[in-house]
Chains A and B, each alone.
Chain A
Amino acid sequence: MIHPVDTILSLVLLSILFSFGSSRLSPLIKMLAFQGIVVCVVPLFVGQVMSGGNIAFTLVTLAIRGIIIPGWIYLAIRKVAIQRAVEPIVGFHASIFCGLLLIVGATLAGNYFETAYREVSDLLLPTAIALLGGGMFLLMARRNAIAMVLGYMMMENGIYLAGTTFSLRARHIVEFGILLDILAGVMIMAVILQNMKQTFDDVDTARLRTLKE
């Protein structure tokens, strides 16, 4: 029987494809919020005891990853009010194809490693690798600074999922520290985005090329 966690994770894999093919930013943010919520909830179903403390912690991380961070980026976009779409370095159709290859590669790589939660979920590690690779791809293949920030967030989601086993070892305070760091990081990126818009009247990173050798 397919474990419910695998069902949700397969949706996450689909969301990666969707975000690769999306030329508009608001669906991309929604996909990211969905991924953020899933990676927060999954640890509860793979090994963690469903105690009051764990549920409360999950709710807080869910609020930060799934609501506050995507909401902040959404507000940043509205403030900078993008007038025109920035051409990506890799086209959207080619991106979807790359996404398919990425998912196949991640599944093969994920099956190669033996992890503690293999018996619970087959898709845990492949999804983590795909999110990590997907985030890196967005960072490299997009010139739009907002899409790049979203790529960074996708990467962080992948690492968080890969660290599901570690979440059992570390105290919540440590995980919370990581979350706060990421939250502050995204806020600083959002501030830079607003200043970029003010300075260049755009968020196209191709304009950032005065400093080079």
Chain B
Amino acid sequence: MRFKLERRLDIPKWAGVVIPLVSVGFSLLIMGIVIYSYMYSKPSYLNRAIFGALNEYRSNIMKIPDESWSRFEKLLKAGRMKSAIAVPKGKLSSNVSSFALSRLEDVFRSTEEAYKFVRDTSESAKSFPKDFESLKNLHNNIGYIVKAYSALNKAINNAKSIMNKECDCDLKEGINSFVENLTKVGILEDLIREAKSVDTADPEKAIKKLEDIRSKFPDEVKKLFTSKMENSIKVISSRCSLPKSSWEGLVLDYKNNLENAMSSGFNPLLFEKASKILNNVSTYYCFAPVVKVWNDSLDPLYMLHKKASIIEGAYSQLSSALRSSQGVLRSLEKGRTFFVKDTLYSVARYTRNSYMKLEKDSFTSSIFASRIESLKSLYNEVNSLYKSLGKPSDIKKNASQISEKVKTIAKKIEEESNAMREDFLKAAEGFARSAIDSFSAIQSKMFPEGSIESRIAEYLDLLMDTYRYKLKEVLSSGIDRMKLNMAYSQLKEVSRDLTMFLRDISDYYPPSNKRMSLSLDYETYVFGMEALRIHSSQDIIYDSYRSKEEIDKALSGKKDITKEEYTKILDKILQGHLDRVYSILTNLKKDLKSLTESFGQVSKVSWIAVGSAYKQLFTWPFIPKEGLPDTINYMTPLLFTGLGLVLVFQMKLWNIGAEGQFYVGVITALWLSLFVFNNHPSAAEIPIVLLIGGLAGAAWAAIAGALKAFLNIDEIVSTLMLNYIAFHWMEYLVYGPWKAPTNFPETKEIPHQLFLPTFGTSRVHIGIIIAISLSAVVYLLMKKTWWGFDLRVIGDNPNAARYAGVNIAKNIVLAMAVSGFFAGLGGATQILGFEHKLYHGYAPGYGYTGIIIAWLARLDPWATILVSFLFGGFLVGGDQIQLVLKLPKAMVVAIEGVILFSLIASEVLFKYKVRVVRK
């Protein structure tokens, strides 16, 4: 049994439409599968990479004990130190270890890549629900809805007045306003239609109908609002693990307000209230509230630090008071009574300053309330003592008494400053504790199962501990502002880290595996760092071996430690190190395994990615304000090269050199604009530049044509070579003589007078007009001239052409030249209209894509326009996919290949019947 192709003679008319559609559809299906499998398989081979590298690492590190450890041990036991040292040096240090290390680094790189991947994929699924946005939009347009409603009421009233012959009002006006307002919002099309169909000539019927509309109106509006709300809630709850209870209340509130607004004849105020609640819902979406609450509870702690200068001031005043009081004591001791009074006055002043500083600020006065009180009484005490002091002679007399009093004061001052520190610490710790508490409260509400969450808390505790430690350091040295600032920045770090943590959860990770990823992020990092650190400490181990010999020498004379004992100790240390490496590795592996499991979730995200890829591909390139200008600009050069090839392919001349001819056009146009017309450039020179650019392309193509015509050199190869020559020539110019005085290899920009005009303010230049009009030229050339006929005859049957007296050689050169002219013109247009300058690596591939376009257009100039437009759209869509979904550029190339294959294959399958032949 075998398959046989039979030519179909009855190719149906619809085949021309169906073939491309079917094959493009097929290609898109393939593309979906490719994107999906890319998204899906990436984690799995990342995992493979991770595990592969890890296993290699393990086996490498295992080699150390197996091969050299035992030998090393044996030698050590035999007391042959020197040889023992030689073993690990040779086998441990260099190859095995460094290779193992590089594998370990591989593991971490792959892991990092894996995280990035999860992030990127889930980002595409992250966007806020669409319905939500349009609901907000409805709220913004609520004015129109209210107006429409009142217009409806007015119309009914008017109709009633008309019926009662009370007035000669215009019924139409109200209806029109109703329709107009609703159309502005773009909703309730059914009601609009009904309103339009109201018969204004018959008020009675009109009233009935209008009242009918009015009765429906609130319900319809409400339906609109609630359905959007319901849909967005669905999305929110599927994407976010925040329990329903946290936002359900808000949603209910919103619905109530909405209801009230509707039933109260569309009260705009109530609408506004609902809209505000809606905004709240969106801010409370997922994790925002957590961050907020956390920040709120941190505020007092921040405040405490912000007031640090005040506290520090108060504290330093107190220190000065202490110093002064000691000065008083010294003066008394030495009998320098003259200074005592003044110094005591300073003590009083410092004490007063101290509490006044604290008192002045409401925040510090509340925290240090008891300090302020006791300092006040202390001040009074000092003050009264000061006042009780008489003349210096009296002081001398009562020296011992005063000194006793001052001593108690000094002691009190010291106690006060200690208490101040205590107060500060207590306040800071209290605030920190309440921050943590408030966080854990949220946490227990948010994450009822509590696994990674407890880890977050641990992490937080760790950070807070550091903070506390720093704080204590501050306090042990008095209240030093610099150190306080350090603690403050530590605190900031705590908060920033946590906020980032939370943002990561809410933004990047898909709901169900975010916790997993989080724990991995942290743990893997810690483990990895540990392992790397131990690895680097291996050097120290080797060093200790090397120095063993020296130690040995030094020990040889001594008797208190034997060689064996020493060796044992060292071995123990080494074994310990290795054990740690193993345990870390085991943990790491376990961890990575759970990473693999979490990747299972990616498949869900992958589908979303496929969906949005299609959407981007189909819609973006054709939206006028978005991708359409780009599509047209991409299409223009493709149309130029495609048209030239349509012509030359007619005669079965396989010019695949449109790429090179395009480059030659680019080079020529650039040369003319930069070096010939650069003095007084004017728009009048544009046609000249374009024409000469085209002619240069024609000349370039004519080389291959002549080689074919006169030397029978295959045009596929010669045009291919000419492509590369043109490309490298262009690169040479960009890197060499034409390089602009910048760091980047590029040329100067051409004078703006030579820019092709654009349509209005858009990016689209008039090159497209030239290209489309050339399609007509090609059509006329091919179908309405003898030359076109000749070309086709040469292509179909060269012998017949020869007998008919057609000069084949001349026509080959001519056809190649014309085709090259188109490509060169395309290049020149691209420079004048789009690029304006040349930069290194400029290889857009328009020539090669032109081949595909000419072929897909089945060598029809009109179809070429359509195909190049679609292809331009495809390229733009491809760029967009790359940009939005971070799919590799290669994806677009691969899809192009698949489309091409399926198009040419499907064409055949339609032309032929597949028949099963039995032998």
Q: Do A and B bind each other?
A: no
